[in-house]
Amino acid sequence: MSQHSEASPDETPFDEANVDDTATSDGAGEDAVDEAAAGEPDGDADTDPGADVVDLGAADDEGVALVGDETMQLRDTVAALEARLKAVSAAYRQQSDEIQATKDRLARQASIKEEMRRGEVVGTLFEPVENLKRSIATLEKEGLEEQAKGLGLVLHQFMDAFKKLGLEEVPGRGARFDPNLHEALTTMPVQDKALDDVVVEVFDTGYRIGSRLLKPARVIIGAYSEPEPVGEA
């Protein structure tokens, strides 16, 4: 029998080289982990706790200032628009007043022109009508009543037409004497002081149309004088 027994097939021979390689690999892994740990920044040492903190008070102040500026701008805009509206309204009222004044002036001018035109028409026919009056008066004096009556109808038609055109009589008896309307033929003594310088008798009727005098009234005016004092007996 041999002194050396053969190795069992299930047993793995101890390899010193493999042990050394494994130890070396383990050491290298630990070194890599240490280097990786050393390369990472220390959170506690390098991180600033206040770096990411937002100053809410400053943000609120900025927001309030921004709103205040916008409010002031809006107020200025509203004030400017109100001033512009007032200016436009004043200009519109002024223009409306000027337009109305122009309309009134044109209306007055048209009325004056129309009055002058009517006055010219009546003035042209007025003297022949006055002659017709005189003819009627002559016929009545001569006792020709029928002829006078026929001409009187014609005269009445003329006078109606004249009145439609604006003809009116000048104020006569009882009116205050007006040299622009009356022609004083003479004076008549009156005892009533209220009749002084008043028309007391109309000799010939006057006529006017509007402000145009066609014929002055020929009148007699009253003249009052203070009674003489009676002497003592």
pLDDT digits (tens, 9 = 90+) for 182-191: 999 999 998 8
pLDDT digits (tens, 9 = 90+) for 164-217: 888 888 998 899 999 999 999 999 998 888 889 999 999 888 888 888 888 899
- SS3 readout for 81-115: HHHHHHHHHHHHHHHHHHHHHHHHHHHHHHHHHHH
- The domain boundary, picked from 118, 149, 165, lies at 165
Helix (H) or strand (E) holding 153, with range, is helix 145-164
Packing angle, helices 56-141 and 145-164, rounded to 10 = 170
Q: How distant is the alpha carbon of residue 204 from its chain centre?
A: 55
pLDDT digits (tens, 9 = 90+) for 78-121: 888 888 888 888 888 888 888 999 999 999 888 888 888 888 88
Instruction: Please give the Cα distance from 183 to 134 (Å, whole number).
Output: 19
Statement: residue 141 has pLDDT above 80: yes
Pair 219, 201: CB distance under 8 Å: yes
Residue 85 shares a structural domain with residue 144: yes
**Which 3 state secondary structure label does DSSP give 183?**
strand
Distances (CA, A) of 84 to 75, 77, 87, 96, 170: 14, 11, 5, 18, 57
- The domain boundary, picked from 117, 146, 165, lies at 165
Domain that holds residue 134: 68-165
Q: Give the range with max mean pLDDT: 18-27, 30-39, 95-104.
A: 95-104
Residue 80 shares a structural domain with residue 155: yes
Residue 148 shares a structural domain with residue 195: no
- Residue 213: CATH number of its domain: 2.30.22.10
What is the count of structural domains for the chain?
Answer: 2
Residue 159 shares a structural domain with residue 93: yes
